[in-house]
Structure 1
Amino acid sequence: MAIAQHWLERVRPSRRKVLRTALLGAGMAAVVRPVRAASSRVEALITRMTLAEKAGQLSCFNDEVRPVGAVFNPVVDPRGRDAMLADIRAGRVGMLFNGYGVAGARVAQAAALQSRLRIPLAFAADVLHGCRTIFPIPLAEAAAFDPDLSRRAARAVARETTAGGIHWTFAPMVDVARDQRWGRVAEGAGEDVLLNRVLAAARVEGFQGPDLTRPDALLATPKHFVGYGAVRGGMEYAAVDMSMAELRETFVPPFAAAFAAGAGATMASFTDFGGVPVSANRPLLTDLLRGELGFDGVCVSDYDADRELIAHGIAADEADAARLAILAGIDMSMQSGLFVRHLPALVTSGRVPVAAVDQAVRRVLTLKERLGLFDDPFRSIDARAERRETGSVAIRRTAREVATRSIVLLRNDRDLLPLPRTGRRIALIGPFGADRANLNGPWSFAGDATDGIDIAQGVRAMLADPQALSVEAGCGIVDPLPGGIERAVAAARAADVVLLAIGEGADMSGEGNSRTAIVVPPVQQALAEVVAATGRPVVVLLRHGRALALDGAVRDAPALLATWFLGEQTGPAIADILFGVVEPTGRLPVSFPMASGQQPWSYDRRSTGRPAPDSDPMAAGRSHWRDAPDRALYPFGSGMGYTRFALSELRLPAMVAAGAAVPVSVAVRNIGARTGTALVRVDLHDRVASRSRPVRQMKAFARVTLAPGAETRVALEIAGDALALVASDGTWRIEPGAFDCWVNAGDDAEIAGAFEVR
């Protein structure tokens, strides 16, 4: 059974129909859920609220009552603890974000209950891949291609996060990302639409659990609505321009899946979209989000994004920016303070209808009611739960599982891996060998780097003789070390095998960290070249928050592992794979390019009128760069284990009716000597359509574990509406014609067929 289909069966029946549409089909015309009527309690509060109190409920601010110490954004509107508490008592704050800890949350909530109407605060945070216990970055987790794992990881993170006095996370990020220069690739699920859709839904279900009123329920906020992943040139916060067909086919579906799974909030994108910043873009935030998708939750601005409408050049001043944001569909202003300062006067002057403010307040209060905060303002503010859940054995066990499952083996010449635990002298060389400062990666929120286990610790714990490991940095992340190269070369020559731990530092990926050249830093590349020149076999342990363009000794190393930023359990996870304790099962959720200049690039790109043949990708007069073919070094889905698989007996119908499901099955056999897990995926290409279609695009996938010599038949199902497209006239439809079909279970295991839709 395909993973997307299998995961769907876990969903509550009341959501299954709409979720099937969002996960497996086009689904853009479907209303996700009926609009909820506000309760009598909420309506009664609205009638009693002053304009100032309404504006307060629509405002969230950085938590200065219990700050975590990390600074993620420019300082805007600082207040200090005492002033913050005074504003809370005056009803001028609806939510605090990026604070942590039960003791401070109790103080802040007690202040809210001293306000005139006693409306409780909600507490939120950017918990993207763990709270105190840091998990792999979301892009790494996506490499597992396993929505059940993502759901379990999100559930574990939710238990620990809510135990620290947080109700709401600004996650998951569901932006499809095809440009690896963009730093925020690290926060999402990569370049494929289906994988993004399935993991968006799984993460929402995991964060929120079965009941939002439970103390361990963490409200999810899929972001950034919409199109942020297509910023021009891969530059953070830059403009976005695309066709509405591309928006609907590629960037909207993960949001539809997240909303169908029950997400109660979303966050608007920072960016200009087609000349109108999203924070002021009513066609996107009202017509598309509320109308077409039927979303009835809370839409939060990104940090200071409403005030930034002035810098965008579409707002004359702060009051004008607040007016544009509320009328576009922003319900809650983050950090700028514009709603508190300007909404009352805007309503009084008639520039903003009071009905628009009331509707936003209605959504915010309804969400607080859904979270159970009116009935229990101190829900999730329990010191006993904080002690029990924070850094528990269970959450660390889950973090290690996710980290191990995230690693992708990209190259393994002559079966260099797995390594034996005895009899080999190993040199661990590179700036990340004994480094803990960069384990967690970007947006690790409340994590403590000293809790992490580095690669050296993980490898030593696996060796029968820990003295068989020598460790040399060789260089820094971007700077040389005096004598570092010489010591590294000496260590390599004295070893039987070299582990080369190189790549990006934690501050080179994530928000605000776009790169024009997505390469290994030059000083590390130089280290790789001299180490390779010793003639010792090299295993590259690549650390990164995006796909990288690899070159020279790094690209050509006998063994290459994509290890991302794996968080607290980095060392044990890498050691598990290196020594064969766990089979590598990860696959790339993003394509590794031949060169930085290929960006943006994705495996499901559309063909040109002059495609280059596979047999001669540099053929004259065909589509390629002067110095690189139009293909990836390692495309989406690449990865291998310590065994191999073969496919046979592909079965699919010759003809299907439009809208009918397409059954696909294939025999999968483990032809290697070890038990392993195959990722079986089905890709399609629509040969002739009213708009040009992707050269191939994944439509279903499943994982199957087989012992050596074992064979099984894997059945997958492509939902009929997964064949739909946004046609040239702007409507979703399934067009008749022939579809090419490929079933793949690894780089060298593929079988092809075709069917026709009538």
Structure 2
Amino acid sequence: MGDGDGGVGRRTFLAAMSGGGAVAGAGAAGAASAVGRDGPARRGGLLGLLGHEDEIRALIARMTVTEKLGQLQQLAWTGATGPGGSQTAAAEEAARKGELGSVLNIIGARNSNALQRIAVEESRLGIPLLFGLDVIHGFWTTFPIPLAQAASFDPEVARVDGEVSAKEARSHGTHWTFAPMMDVTHEPRWGRIAESCGEDPYLTAVFAAAKTRGYQGDDLSAPDRVAACAKHFVAYGGAEGGRDYNTVDVSESRLRNLYLPPFKAALDAGCATVMASFNTLSGIPAHANGHTLTEILKEDWEFEGLVVSDWNGVGELLPHGFAADGAEAGRIALNAGVDMEMVSTHLADHGAELLAAGRIKEDRLDDAVARVLRVKYALGLFAQPYVDESAVVEVPTAAARKAAREAAARSTVLLKNEGGVLPIAAGTAVAVVGPFADSRDMQGTWAGPGGEKFPPVSVLAGIRDAAGRGAKVTYGVGATERADLIVVVVGEGAKLSGEAASRSDLGLPGGQEGLIAAVAATGKPFVVVLLNGRPLTIGNWLESAPAVLEAWHPGIEGGNAIADVLYGKVNPGGKLPASFPRDVGQLPVHYNHENTGRPYDPASPGNTFITGYLDVDRTPQFPFGYGLSYTTFEIGTPRASVARIAAADLRRGETFEVEVPVRNTGDREGDEVVQLYLHDPVATLVQPVRRLRGFERVTLGVGERKTVRFTLGAADIGFWTNAVDGRFVVEPGKIELFAGASSAARERCGVVVE
């Protein structure tokens, strides 16, 4: 492995410092972001990242090499575990010397102010520290896990979560959250699917942009906003076998068409930072991958913000077998494009000798320091390094709880409702059973400090409150004989999903399936409520259950939100953001797969020489985008505003509209998610059978009609090829457009691209 030039390739440090270079356009490659077709891409400068270049240049000129390397170091505070352990004393000493850039996992205004005073008032240059924390779906007020939020098909859910979380976290001294996580994945075995938005790049991109706007607002220096971090860059969700931290091997086209669009969308929304991922990418660890970190992220996308490593990610270049020692690991990571090292200390330990030996270049070092300082200036830390200890948010407010309750209800997905078992009628005698009926284990993975301090409302408590005084609600298996309806609450605990929580079996753990069977044997109507952090295999008991409600890990107000849905106060309208497999042996099973030369054709059941398995159906148990309601809807045939459009016009930014009619055909108001999918039947690169290119959640009264309009352009019609330098093409041919209530939509129209 050669040393390389140590810089940022085609871009010089002076250009980076001055913000030079053209803004990426909206046509062709510039428009290839899933949500980047509304004009020039938003760059970090729109949030103030490029507003202090003169001050940054002057400050860097005053810094010693050791102080520069210190700005690239992030250490962990007391309570941090894993490689590096607790680094509290080391952080204080380094801050005093002006040799520390950031600290993670410090919580509390008093703690953060105390450490900040050391850095600002005792170090030579007084550069403030940047405090980071994993605020994934809540600080005090825990919202549903990100996968659940994606099930709402309402990006406002993610935006509000980010806004509430930012206000609570910033009041405690947190400046920076390591979210949103936008790893597209086709692997429900992978525990971190709980943190993701599921299997689709378009849905993930829309939510990534919304969450970024929620965290950051329009002014990063505001006392109720934090810097967002797009993670994990990139393709972490493609881990082989769904085993966390595992190998990823993808083509350039799949990298750009599947994994990269959500990151581009987050950056277009102004995301200030990016985190590298743990996995290798086609043989190169992500922390050493100059193609993704520098060529794509910093050069092609002109990202001016900060790239941080993941926990010990630089140090893990050694067990990867990509670096021989710590000095080499630090050199490789910096030269590839990592700007800040989390927990491991290889750059701080060896940077000076690497610089003296010419193995890293001064312009690359200065560029990394400038990126760190740029975020600090944008956050207003030089002007106001301390947090107001009298304005700390101590508890979840009533407004925050209300927002979390609404988010959890909007995120539920009704999977089955035979015979109108739901909603529960007033006065019904209800028995609530199951290991999670009265459990507080509903927060899900990465619940934040509020996960333990403010336990959630249980399902039993929520049902008792919703049923009202005088209603008969009993708890326990022994109470089922006296009930008119049984609510069975089952699932998986928070520790069974999330980081390092991969599962080879996606069924309900323990004896929960036996419990469902026993309830079914009573002959009484019942509903199964699922609390889980991933798609499950539920085929063994699905047929016996009249009603099934997917509630995910719903957060602090989960029990109340579930009761709102069960009793009909809220009509469920969520949709699945990931396909539910019938069996683990099917995996991967996802809607946006590519056809083979012998595709599955349900119209020809006698043909056995096709892709699939002998012992399981070729389709998922429930497809992407699926979800029922207490009412019914009719989605009509889509209609395009043009029959033909020139590829050249699309590349120049021209768009066209697709109209889709929808009508509530049932007997109550409800929500439907109108979904638009695209298929390119003939292309120079085999295309997915469906690609989501638009969705809108609409509320319709009884008999109400609405026409939903989608705007499509080059980003929707075209695709990235396997050219390593990134080639986006819009090819001639007929494009098929499908509209419906899931990825199995059948209503269609066509547009010819000339």
TM-score of the superposition, structure 1-length normalised? 0.91
Distance 1:617 1:444, change over 3 A: farther
Q: Is 2:262 aligned against 1:254? A: yes
What does 1:194-213 correspond to in 2, within 5 Å? Answer: 194-213=202-221
Could you tell me how far 1:628 is from its partner in structure 2? 1.6
Q: Secondary structure at the match of 1:585?
A: coil
Q: Is 2:413 aligned against 1:408? A: yes
Q: Is 2:63 aligned against 1:49? A: yes
Amino acid at match of 1:662: F
2:118 aligns to what?
A: 111
Q: Is 2:659 aligned against 1:656? A: no
CA contact (8 A) 2:520 2:544 kept: no
Summarize deviations over 1:559-610 as a string: whole Å, max 9, x none.
Answer: 1111111110011000000000011011111110111122222111111111
Distance 1:462 1:280, change over 3 A: same
Q: 442-451 or 566-575: which moved more?
A: 442-451
What does 1:627-642 correspond to in 2, within 5 Å? Answer: 627-642=615-630
Q: Is 2:316 aligned against 1:308? A: yes
What does 1:300-449 correspond to in 2, within 5 Å? Answer: 300-378=308-386, 381-387=387-393, 390-422=395-427, 424-436=428-440, 438-449=441-452
Among residues 543, 551, 559, which one is paired with 2:531 in the alignment?
543
CA contact (8 A) 1:618 1:624 kept: no
What is the rounded CA distance, in whole Å, between the counterparts of 1:24 and 1:555 in structure 2?
Answer: 39
1:454 aligns to what?
A: 458
Q: 574-583 or 598-607: which moved more?
A: 598-607
Q: Is 2:587 aligned against 1:599? A: yes
What is the rounded CA distance, in whole Å, between the counterparts of 2:391 and 2:571 in structure 1?
Answer: 35
What is the rounded CA distance, in whole Å, between the counterparts of 2:35 and 2:129 in structure 1?
Answer: 37
What is the rounded CA distance, in whole Å, between the counterparts of 1:517 and 1:157 in structure 2?
Answer: 33
What is the rounded CA distance, in whole Å, between the counterparts of 1:427 and 1:178 in structure 2?
Answer: 37
CA contact (8 A) 1:143 1:408 kept: yes
Could you tell me how far 1:632 is from its partner in structure 2? 0.9
2:77 aligns to what?
A: 63
Q: 83-92 or 216-225: which moved more?
A: 83-92
Among residues 598, 619, 634, which one is paired with 1:610 in the alignment?
598
Q: 717-726 or 369-378: which moved more?
A: 717-726
1:518 aligns to what?
A: 506
Amino acid at match of 2:636: S
Summarize deviations over 1:119-165 as a string: whole Å, max 9, x none.
Answer: 00111101100011111001101111112232122112111111111
1:290 aligns to what?
A: 298
What is the rounded CA distance, in whole Å, between the counterparts of 2:278 and 2:103 in structure 1?
Answer: 20
Q: Is 2:741 aligned against 1:753? A: no
1:485 aligns to what?
A: none
Among residues 10, 22, 42, which one is paired with 2:33 in the alignment?
22
Summarize deviations over 1:714-747 as a string: whole Å, max 9, x none.
Answer: 2222224310012465621111111222110369
Amino acid at match of 2:114: V
CA contact (8 A) 1:410 1:559 kept: yes
Among residues 470, 475, 489, which one is paired with 2:474 in the alignment?
470
Distance 1:616 1:495, change over 3 A: farther
Q: Is 2:578 aligned against 1:590? A: yes
Summarize deviations over 1:360-414 as a string: whole Å, max 9, x none.
Answer: 1111111111111111111xx1223214x74111111111111111111111001
Q: Secondary structure at the match of 1:23?
A: coil
Summarize deviations over 1:509-556 as a string: whole Å, max 9, x none.
Answer: 000001111111142112222221222222111111111111322454
CA contact (8 A) 1:183 1:511 kept: yes
Amino acid at match of 1:386: V
What does 1:665-684 correspond to in 2, within 5 Å? Answer: 665-684=659-678
Among residues 480, 501, 505, which one is paired with 1:492 in the alignment?
480
What is the rounded CA distance, in whole Å, between the counterparts of 1:747 and 1:740 in structure 2?
Answer: 14
Amino acid at match of 1:464: G
Q: Is 2:568 aligned against 1:580? A: yes
Could you tell me how far 1:752 is from its partner in structure 2? 2.0
What is the rounded CA distance, in whole Å, between the counterparts of 1:288 and 1:453 in structure 2?
Answer: 45
Could you tell me how far 1:753 is from its partner in structure 2? 2.1
Amino acid at match of 2:466: M
What is the rounded CA distance, in whole Å, between the counterparts of 1:748 and 1:632 in structure 2?
Answer: 11
Could you tell me how far 1:356 is from its partner in structure 2? 1.8
Distance 1:95 1:204, change over 3 A: same
Could you tell me how far 1:696 is from its partner in structure 2? 1.1
- How many residues are aligned here? 717
Q: Is 2:96 aligned against 1:96? A: no
Summarize deviations over 1:181-210 as a string: whole Å, max 9, x none.
Answer: 111111111111111111111111111011
2:170 aligns to what?
A: 162
Q: Is 2:716 aligned against 1:722? A: yes
Summarize deviations over 1:485-519 as a string: whole Å, max 9, x none.
Answer: xxx2x333332211111111100000000111111
Q: 589-598 or 657-666: which moved more?
A: 657-666
Could you tell me how far 1:612 is from its partner in structure 2? 1.8
Among residues 728, 736, 740, which one is paired with 1:744 in the alignment?
740
Distance 1:117 1:258, change over 3 A: same
Amino acid at match of 1:655: R
CA contact (8 A) 2:624 2:743 kept: no
**Aligned-pair Cα RMSD in Å:** 2.3
Distance 1:627 1:432, change over 3 A: same
Q: Secondary structure at the match of 2:307?
A: strand
What does 1:105-254 correspond to in 2, within 5 Å? Answer: 105-113=112-120, 114-254=122-262
CA contact (8 A) 2:25 2:41 kept: no
CA contact (8 A) 2:31 2:714 kept: no
What is the rounded CA distance, in whole Å, between the counterparts of 1:648 and 1:625 in structure 2?
Answer: 34
Q: Secondary structure at the match of 2:82?
A: coil
Q: Is 2:728 aligned against 1:732? A: yes
What does 1:677-696 correspond to in 2, within 5 Å? Answer: 677-696=671-690
Could you tell me how far 1:167 is from its partner in structure 2? 0.6
Instruction: Mark the runs of 5 or more structure 1 residues left unpaired by the alignment.
Output: 1-13, 473-487
Q: Secondary structure at the match of 1:149?
A: helix
Distance 1:553 1:77, change over 3 A: closer
TM-score of the superposition, structure 2-length normalised? 0.91
CA contact (8 A) 2:32 2:728 kept: no
What is the rounded CA distance, in whole Å, between the counterparts of 1:398 and 1:467 in structure 2?
Answer: 27
CA contact (8 A) 1:27 1:253 kept: no
What is the rounded CA distance, in whole Å, between the counterparts of 1:710 and 1:29 in structure 2?
Answer: 37
Instruction: Mark the runs of 5 or more structure 2 residues left unpaired by the alignment.
Output: 1-22
Q: Secondary structure at the match of 1:343?
A: helix
Distance 1:107 1:178, change over 3 A: same
Q: Is 2:697 aligned against 1:697? A: no
Could you tell me how far 1:28 is from its partner in structure 2? 14
Q: Secondary structure at the match of 2:636?
A: strand
